Structure 1
């Protein structure tokens, strides 16, 4: 049963948003351009969903996947070739389009309070790879491929990919992938630490939803606070971090969901 919530769903143009229980699934639905993030409304859709999630208490997990053969091909190379769309204009104009365009995506996703799972169904290239890395967890189909391929086109990761990748797998591995521009398969992505699991294509969404359901079953307010804590952990000094832990724990101990969880645990222990 889908929980009710007064927060209306955002109206999307190039993506689909579905709710099942406490899990929201966002499907990039521009398979005609391999779910390119420029030259489409996908960035607008992703930002709208990210902002909606933080107002919607009925959702505990977001799953992002792609429709068709690709997760996302990143930037529209035809627009690059013609110097059109997001890539038109002088250096200042292009920079401003990045700020007002694709760079809204990492800022919006970084602020999402619920866990994000990327179910990578096919190639995730350039900004599409970076989008996957903006998630908290990545499950990949064996058909998935990953590439930080910007340098192959004579450009840099303008959407923040270099920031995400080195935090995910360390500076040296991220440097090699970024500077070589090579594309890796799902198994190498798992060995490198980019991907948590690799599945057969037909099992991808079932596994992603299984993982999402396990997380969504946790107390929702504590889940959001835990994600916030995990994000802050890499950016704060230990004394400041422990102060934040104390504040968050004080909130948790005064939430009804905490007492409900404790009662359920005591009842389970009594039956053993």
Structure 2
């Protein structure tokens, strides 16, 4: 039974809820990371899941790392090479797991997303935020760097100059500015957050699941791959897609002017 993560599935949509509201859902200092990684592995293996919504319980989406737990590294109790290995075998598994997950992930940002909490939202494919949310790439404020991939993720979402501004100052921005900077695609009142995320999830889930999964893979690979390489991948994915029952159903439904049925 999970303690710090809630896993709920309704039809083809899974909602994952960070469940440590008293501490503002930190990603470290608890079993949350392992629970989240296990949930992503479960989702990857479950073909009935077509979309994931990731949100937090309480006033914050995630406050990032547990600052009190950082005292262990700062005290000299462990050497630098051990700390390096703990990052590699710990938090750094999360961006890789979310990057490689073929199911689209919507971050429903219910409150502040700070440090690793902001980076967690950037690991997702889409972001919707409440109008009271705050965002900060605040690692410099505690004398460290983004050890979870934020320096790779954030510039690709909001651009190099703005990512540098947030990272070098550590200051926070509000939801309005996050929308202007394309950090989030929607800003809604708190009562509308989960309905908005659910509406988007259902719109995605209504499409042929293989096409959505392969489209996500192409988009992700396109972040680092040469055009000719991506075109070759696209040709192969297209060849596979043309042979699926879902493609045939989509084409016939279009011709017959009816709603397609992609049920498994």
Range of TM-score over shorter length:
over 0.9
Correspondent of 2:129 among 124, 128, 140: 140
Q: Does 1:37 align with 2:27?
A: yes
TM-score (norm 2): 0.94
Q: Does 1:169 align with 2:158?
A: yes
Computed over aligned residues only, the root mean square deviation of the Cα atoms, in angstroms, reads 1.4
Structure 2 residue matching 1:54: 3-state secondary structure: helix
Q: Does 1:160 align with 2:163?
A: no
TM superposition shift of 1:41: 1.3
TM superposition shift of 1:88: 5.2
Q: How many residues matched?
A: 257
TM superposition shift of 1:237: 1.4
Correspondent of 1:62 among 34, 46, 52: 52
Q: Does 1:213 align with 2:221?
A: no
The 1-side partners of 2:46 and 2:2 are apart by 16
Describe the superposition over 1:72-102 as per-residue Cα deviations: whole angstroms up to 9, x where unpaired: 000111122x3269x9511111111111111
TM superposition shift of 1:106: 0.7
Structure 2 residue matching 1:24: 3-state secondary structure: strand
Change (3 A) 1:84 1:241: closer
TM superposition outliers: structure 1 runs of 4+ over 6 Å:
none
The 2-side partners of 1:79 and 1:88 are apart by 12
The 2-side partners of 1:152 and 1:72 are apart by 17
Whether contact under 8 Å (2:73, 2:83) holds in the other structure is no
Whether contact under 8 Å (1:88, 1:94) holds in the other structure is no
Q: Does 1:124 align with 2:117?
A: no
The 1-side partners of 2:47 and 2:191 are apart by 31
The 2-side partners of 1:88 and 1:26 are apart by 34
Stretch of structure 1 that moved more, 42-51 or 175-184? 42-51
2:12 paired residue number: 22
The 1-side partners of 2:83 and 2:23 are apart by 22
The residue correspondences of 1:199-238 to structure 2 (distance < 5 A) are: 199-238=188-227
The 1-side partners of 2:41 and 2:225 are apart by 25
Q: Which runs of 5+ in 2 are unaligned?
A: 259-264
Stretch of structure 1 that moved more, 198-207 or 168-177? 168-177
Describe the superposition over 1:195-216 as per-residue Cα deviations: whole angstroms up to 9, x where unpaired: 0000000100000000000000
Q: Which runs of 5+ in 1 are unaligned?
A: 1-10
The 2-side partners of 1:181 and 1:117 are apart by 25
1:5 paired residue number: none
Structure 2 residue matching 1:71: 3-state secondary structure: strand
